[in-house]
Amino acid sequence: MRITTWNVNSVRQRLEHLLAVLREEAPDVLCLQELKCQDDAFPRAEVEAAGYRVETHGQKGFNGVAILSREPLEDVRRGLPGDPADEQARYIEGVAAGVRVASIYLPNGNPAPGPKYEYKLAWFDRLIAHAGTLLGREEPLVLAGDYNVIPEERDVANPDAWRGDALFLPDSRAKLRELEFLGLTDAVRACDDSGALYTFWDYQAGAFQRNLGIRIDHLLLSPQAADRLQGVAIHRHTRGWEKPSDHVPVSVVLG
């Protein structure tokens, strides 16, 4: 079973790229982030014609997450528990072929310190609480998405350039570790311990051409999913497409 996560950075602007990923990588499940459209504006017909069922949690102009699946999606939840007043569309989960999958778009948090960073950390706390509940089910679970956190110095080409950024601040990294310490496995690091494994390159200053990247798109696996882990892939070539997303898809294969 191949599960892929991708911050598409506007699904309508990058529809052809999305369809190309579905053709080339043929994921069983694709988790999308940053749709930047409401549910009724998602290109559902084109994606369904490619053989995928669609569940979305959209928001006009900002955020937005989706799960595309070859198999029926069951037990779908839209929105992260813990704050009924939170209207930002950043979380959706469902069960496909016996695996619970979540598509996550964690807040950026910049500028930090400030209200946006406080929201990021509070959102993280809610995610940690919900993940603990899900892990109690003792089922295959994949928490996939754009976490907006650089875990370690080896996950960034130029650490000094990111020291004061919300993606690399100590509190952000500590929250990600706290989430993992619940019993989750970073799929990429379980398969590849090398450096320069990046999933995002800024549009500015030739970052991609100079390989000044960061790794912020993660797939975290429950023990039941980690036991089935067969491999991962970072689809770096998509960043070289015309008018690409600044993120690239990342896939995990479960046996």
Task: Please give the positions annotated as active site.
Answer: 105, 146
* 82: exposed, middle or buried (Cβ count in 10 Å: 0-12, 13-18, 19+): middle
DSSP label at residue 25: H
User: For the CA atoms of 186, 232, 46, 59, what is the dihedral angle to 10 degrees?
Assistant: 20
Helix (H, G, I), strand (E, B) or coil at 34: coil
Burial class (CB in 10 A: 0-12, 13-18, 19+), 224: middle
Interhelix angle 170-180/115-135, nearest 10 degrees: 10
Q: Cα separation of 211 and 207, whole Å?
A: 6
**In sequence order, what are the beta bridge partners of 185?**
221
One-letter amino acid identity for 20? A
